[in-house]
Amino acid sequence: MECCELTFNEALAIQPQMQPCAAPLNQRDFLSIAPHLQLQQQQMMMPALNHREVLDLELPQKDLLLDHREVLDLERSLDHREVLDLDDRVPQRPPQLPDYFACSNECYVPLQDRQGMSLDEDALIESAEEVDFEPASQSNPYEAEMVDTASEPAAQVSNTEKLMCDMDAEQDAYVVAQQKLLESSFQPSLPLSAIAGDDQRGSCEDLHSLPADVNCACIAYATAPAKVPTTSTDKGNLISKIEARRRAKRSVEDRNIRIFFSSTFKDMQEERELVAKKVMPEIRAQCALRGVTVNQVDLRWGITKEQSESGNTISICLSEVDRCRPWFISMLGERYGWCHSENEKDELLTKTFANAVAKFPWIMKYTDRSITELEIRHAVLNASQRERHALFFLRDPHYVHKGYDSSDFAECPGSAAAAKLLRLKGEIRCHGNTAVDYGTPGDFVNLVQQQMLSLLNEDFPKSVAPSPLARERLAHDAFARSRGNIYVGGENYVFQLNCFIATQQNLPHPQPIVVLGDSGMGKSSLLSHYARRFEEEHRDIFVLEHYIGCSGLSTDLGKMITRIINEIIDFFELQDRVVPADLPGLKEALPEYFLEASRRGGMLLITDALNQLEDRDAEELQWFPARLPPNVQVVASCLPEGVSAQAVQTRGWRTLLIHPLDENSCCQIISECMKECSKSLSYSQMERIVNTPQVVNPLFLRTFVDEIKVHGKFETLDLRIAQCSHARDIPELFGLVLARIEGDLQRAVSSSVGPCLVLTYLARRGLTEGEMMGILGLSQVAWSELAIALADLLDSKSGFLNFTHDYVRQAVVTRYVTPATTTLHRKKLISYFRDMSVCARSCEELPFHLQQGAYFDELAACITNTTIFFMLVEEEKFDLYRYFRACSTQPTPAQRLVQRVRETCQGDFKKLHTAGKFLQDMAFYVEAEALLKESLAVTLLNFPATHPEVANSKDALGYLYRLQARFEKACPLYEDALQTRRREFGEESQEAAASMCNLAILYRKTGKYDKAEPLYVGSCAIRKKVLGIYYPETGMSENGLGCLYQDQGKDKQAEEHFLTALNIRERCNGPNHPDVAMTLTNLASLYLAKARYDESERLFTRALNIYENVFGENHPDVAHTLAYLAGVYVEKGRYLAAKPLFERAIAIKTTLLGQKHPEVAQSLSDFGVLYSRMRDYDSALSLYRQCLAIREEVLGMEHPDTAQSMNNVGAVLASKGDFTEAERMYLQALHITEAKFGKNHQNVCQSLLKLASLYQRQHRPASDIEPLYRRALDILRQQYGEVHPDYALCLNDLAVLKFNSGRAAEAEALYLQMLRVYEQLFPPREDQQMHPDLARAHKNVAAFYAAVGNVAEAQRHSTLAATA
């Protein structure tokens, strides 16, 4: 039953029953009704209007309405509206080069070294390793994309002020040159500072009134261009794109056609044979090129004796004509077909007419006609208009006399049959359908192929052949149409969905809404119906529907995310995007693509049946972003109980519960359904059905009524009603349906019901009708009878047979699926697809069934067949990963692949490269290295050493070495690639800039800063000139320069570049993009080193929120930021708050990166600092030694990070009294540091201080120790100034030295100077508690005064220290 549309007055009538959310009204509609509404009703309608529309209202209650809107934070929501189309705001992104070409993003976050306050405390927080994001092939969606250009390098901008002016000038040029795609209601946002929370927002005018230090932070935050109204052309293009997609959805039928061939049998044997052997193979081949599945319905073997005797001939034939519409091909000679003779009635034919008349009542007018004519009339002649897909081929009458028995080829001249045939041909010609005359069967072949191909070209042009994405889309569209046809919900639910969507449309983070209801309650139908309504009412919003369970592929989480991302890429024309092939990468990428959709106008994602996703993690919704960006809204559905429902409740999503049907609704549905077949039920029968408890479920009720409709005898109808009413649930009711179908069919066909359904259950994507017939060995007639009987249980609209509902699947499992039947039928599937030539279908099904059946040896052989491998790696890479992981055979699949690729792909460097990159993605590094080396060797054989393909191959191999931290092998390859690109594309080309950036990263990782700097500077200058300032790659280069200068201790320059990078990235990507978080983290680390703890904490916290919102809680970037934030807590003395953050960071990194990764080493070191501060030296030493071992093995003995670890180990050893080993560590670290950074670097200072402290504990002469402290103080003063914790620590240690040397006056001056520094660093807290470092300073001063006999001062400072 279709639900009627509600008028607006009817909507208002039921509004009080709704939750207080808005109807989707525009301003004019609202103003027309507002005077007639209560204030509460006005408030309920209000959220559909934006802020400006509210201000424009001419209503006395306007202020109250605005008060109501405060909950939506109007000012903030307007400030956060984003650009509709970022690509039109900045230059078009150029074509992407190979994935290994791209420069990695970098994130450097050092935690400043600290020396303990008290005489025996000596601890260190070392510089953190940067996050080095890999190219797009490693699932990083933010990679650079390069183009061929050549230009003079731009001059380097030396200061922030000049650069900001250049940025403003370039922004103005963009506004003039680019299409203005900001909505007229959008307003740019500018926060009070880069470190402000979301609730601290200001206007652009606030910028110049802020203090200088705040003003600098302001510049770094995203400042959108001045509001630019959307042009009508731009909006029209978007609407046209959506409308074209909608028309295609409405007008293009499923790409699954069934062609009915009609003719008499004896005289058309030759034509039918040619159709099967010549015509259809060519048609199938042409259809395959167009992504069309074709099924030939050929009843040329006639009807079996058993079927004929049952009188089903006409029903089968005419039902098949219906299933094949609009395709119908008729071949007519000089025979009329089976009909009553002139003198007597055929008893069997009479029975056949009688059996068919219930379904086809019109045939009673034609009981004297042949079955062939009935087919033609049903297909064509009964309609008033011609059907262009109906083709008639009329054979030359003289052909029958050429050597054949004329009695088999022609009716007797002058007979009634001959007259009827002549009249039929005349009617066909007059009806206007295509009627072609032909002479011989050979002529027929050419003519029928020509006509059919002409229709195929009109319906399915080659130029628009569907991609795999489009084919999957068709499956979901077909499912949606099937559910829309049986929609029995109420407008009440649609209205509530509209209200909720309207309330969310202006929020910065829209909330999903989930429709809850038991299976069969109509959730899919409601979502399908709502999608159609929403598309009609919102012509400018992209609607994407995904019905989990509609096909064998739709329940796979990886496939679903891949489809969502690809649909966004396709619709918004995001060119040259590489979609990750692994599930973690897909989870990371999904939020980014939601952001892309948000910037380009938004979207509505409709996801049905979350509970049907295949694994528990998927059902727990851990893959779904924690927050949605503006303009991206989600409507989903799931069962009211279970894992998915619990996840929905945990996340706090809104829900809409589908309620059971009431008695009136049940009666209405029963009456409407019975009217379809012109039948009615008695009151008692109706009452019996309505009183069945399960009929409150719409699917149960509809199935129940459908069973009654097909029941043949009224005398036994009450018994059938009783049987159905006793079904305890829907699967049991479907079991009764299956039992009835088996009983209705003839034995030869009924025996195939179970196998057919089990094969459907097992098949991955479903099976085509041709595949099903081939596996079961059924004739066309037998299959037709079976398919007609199962029509309500199996759907083939997408071209593949699948269950119409999950309850059907459950019934099939209960009735037919056992271990024995599963094994038997899976073997049949394997055999069928193994024997099929390698194609997309065999690659889709065969390895899947081999894996499911645990035939791992054959699976390994299958997926390492190079033909299958390269087809899967192109179309089904995600599945290929799973197949490789499933095989534990020897040799491994990776080893087999290397061998087979070498055997079959010799000389094909591209295939060698593709296979090598796949193995690299799978972390089979040894096998990947073998293939990438061979690819490079083949490239060198085929191209000159200076050819770009050689550079690409070297980059690929170098990148693999970089992944493995084999920097000494990667470096020469990167250097050669850079020289080649400079030579081939120019010194200042984009290709050269990308290569320069890659090499710079490598040099910086290996501590070769003198080589890294000119490469970073050069690549940044090229990108500024070629691409402009506001471009992601330019922001990447600025970020890299900041990391480099921070490594070198050039903090002022580092801050300039980080602020510039932050400004660029926020303007290009918006304030909540991961690249923004990366630069925030870099800037926070810089402020931490400068002891600007509050600013550092805010920046780290903001970055952590971005990462968790975008990527979820288990991601490397989240782990890095947790560790950095924990380091801030350590510096602020919040040790208990820091410990769980460190533990969580280490757990995430170890799980994702492995135990011997530099990032794991960094977190171990940072955690050791915490234990050292807490004086748990054994735990600290264990962590520091683990870190040192990893760095020595991975980075080498001469790396600065290794030196830092040596300092850490030495500090703890000194605290434990092992001075000899501690001195050895300190001296080795000092030697490495001076060799890398020179004599005046901050890291040298750290080593000097630790060595001096150690000598003091060993009671060495002051003349050996004081020069070390003085040199350290000079370095610290140059680097940080005198108000810095490290400077204070150094003063403290020098004071101790002076006191122990008997120079108390000098010691007192140093102690008091140290105390003043700490008092400036750590002013009193709100809770009146003193910072631990300041308390320790007072304690040390108190100890000094006590030692010199100044009891009053000693007591005063001790009292102050006790407040910590």
Classify the phi-psi angles of 73: left when phi > 0, otherwise alpha if psi is within -120 to 50, otherwise beta: left
Global pTM?
0.54
Reported as half-sphere exposure (CB side, CA atoms, 13 A), residue 54 has a value of: 22
What HEC string does 38-66 produce? CHHHHHHHHHHCCHHHHHHCCCCCHHHHH
Query: Before 326, cis peptide (omega within 30)?
Result: yes
Among candidate residues 496, 499, 505, the one with its CA nearest the CA of residue 526: 496
Query: Before 629, cis peptide (omega within 30)?
Result: no
- The residue ranges of the chain whose pLDDT is under 50 are 1-164, 167, 170-232, 247-253, 301-304, 486
Angle at which helices 753-762 and 806-816 pack, to 10 degrees? 120
Amino acid at 1097: E
Give 262's strand partners.
Answer: 330
End-to-end CA distance of the chain: 74
Reported as half-sphere exposure (CB side, CA atoms, 13 A), residue 929 has a value of: 13
The residue whose two tokens read 């066309």 is: 780
Query: SS3 for 214?
Result: helix
* Cα(488)–Cα(1) distance, integer angstroms: 5
- Phi, psi (rounded to 5 degrees) for 514: -120, 125
Among candidate residues 392, 359, 93, 350, the one with its CA nearest the CA of residue 990: 93
Cα-based distances in Å from 56 to 23, 31, 45, 1033: 19, 10, 16, 43
Angle at which helices 1051-1069 and 160-177 pack, to 10 degrees? 20
Sign of CA dihedral 504, 1067, 1065, 1097: negative
Q: Quickly list DSSP for 1204-1216.
A: HHHHHHHHHHHHT
**pLDDT tens profile 304-342:** 455 556 677 888 889 889 888 899 999 998 888 888 887
Across 725-873, where does the E strand assignment appear?
A: 794-795, 802-803
The residue whose two tokens read 């592929």 is: 553
- What's the pLDDT at 1002? 85
- What's the pLDDT at 678? 59
- What's the pLDDT at 1249? 83
Helices (H) and strands (E) in the chain, counts: 62, 16
The two structure tokens encoding residue 502: 């309207």
* Cα(353)–Cα(368) distance, integer angstroms: 10
Among candidate residues 885, 877, 959, the one with its CA nearest the CA of residue 925: 959
Distance of CA 385 to the CA centre of its chain: 47
The two structure tokens encoding residue 1340: 């040390």
* Cα(224)–Cα(188) distance, integer angstroms: 5
Cα-based distances in Å from 345 to 160, 367, 1310: 102, 10, 126
Distance of CA 1014 to the CA centre of its chain: 38
CB 41 within 8 A of CB 64: no
Give 657's strand partners.
Answer: 516
Strand 794-795 relative to strand 654-657, pairing: unpaired
What HEC string does 692-715 produce? CHHHHCHHHHHHHHHHHHCCCCHH
> Any idea what DSSP says for residue 907?
T
Among candidate residues 692, 703, 534, 671, the one with its CA nearest the CA of residue 1: 671
- What's the pLDDT at 73? 30
Q: Quickly list DSSP for 1254-1279.
A: HHHHTT--HHHHHHHHHHHHHHHHHH
CB 1194 within 8 A of CB 1234: no
The two structure tokens encoding residue 653: 């999503």
- What's the pLDDT at 216? 28
In the chain, the largest separation of any two C-alpha atoms, in whole Å, equals 143
Among candidate residues 1085, 1104, 1034, the one with its CA nearest the CA of residue 1062: 1034
- What's the pLDDT at 64? 35
Reported as half-sphere exposure (CB side, CA atoms, 13 A), residue 156 has a value of: 15
* Cα(445)–Cα(1136) distance, integer angstroms: 85
Query: SS3 for 1322?
Result: coil
Distance of CA 665 to the CA centre of its chain: 40
- What's the pLDDT at 988? 85
* Cα(177)–Cα(1351) distance, integer angstroms: 76
CB 674 within 8 A of CB 680: yes
The two structure tokens encoding residue 148: 């061929």
* Cα(546)–Cα(372) distance, integer angstroms: 43
The two structure tokens encoding residue 704: 């129940």
- Cβ within 8 Å of residue 121, ≥6 positions away: 115, 1172, 1173, 1175, 1215
CB 340 within 8 A of CB 349: yes
Strand 131-132 relative to strand 106-107, pairing: antiparallel
- What's the pLDDT at 1327? 59
* Cα(940)–Cα(1259) distance, integer angstroms: 65
How many residues are there in the chain?
A: 1364
Reported as half-sphere exposure (CB side, CA atoms, 13 A), residue 1327 has a value of: 5
Sign of CA dihedral 658, 661, 665, 670: positive
CB 144 within 8 A of CB 1033: yes
CB 110 within 8 A of CB 127: yes
> Any idea what DSSP says for residue 379?
I
CB 1074 within 8 A of CB 1106: yes
Q: Quickly list DSSP for 1093-1113.
A: HHHHHHHHHHHHHHHHHHH-S
- What's the pLDDT at 19? 37
Among candidate residues 992, 1032, 996, 1028, the one with its CA nearest the CA of residue 1014: 996
Q: Give the other-Cβ count within 10 Å of 322's Cβ.
A: 13
- What's the pLDDT at 244? 56
- Cβ within 8 Å of residue 828, ≥6 positions away: 759, 775
Among candidate residues 19, 20, 2, 135, the one with its CA nearest the CA of residue 1001: 135
Among candidate residues 894, 731, 755, the one with its CA nearest the CA of residue 820: 755
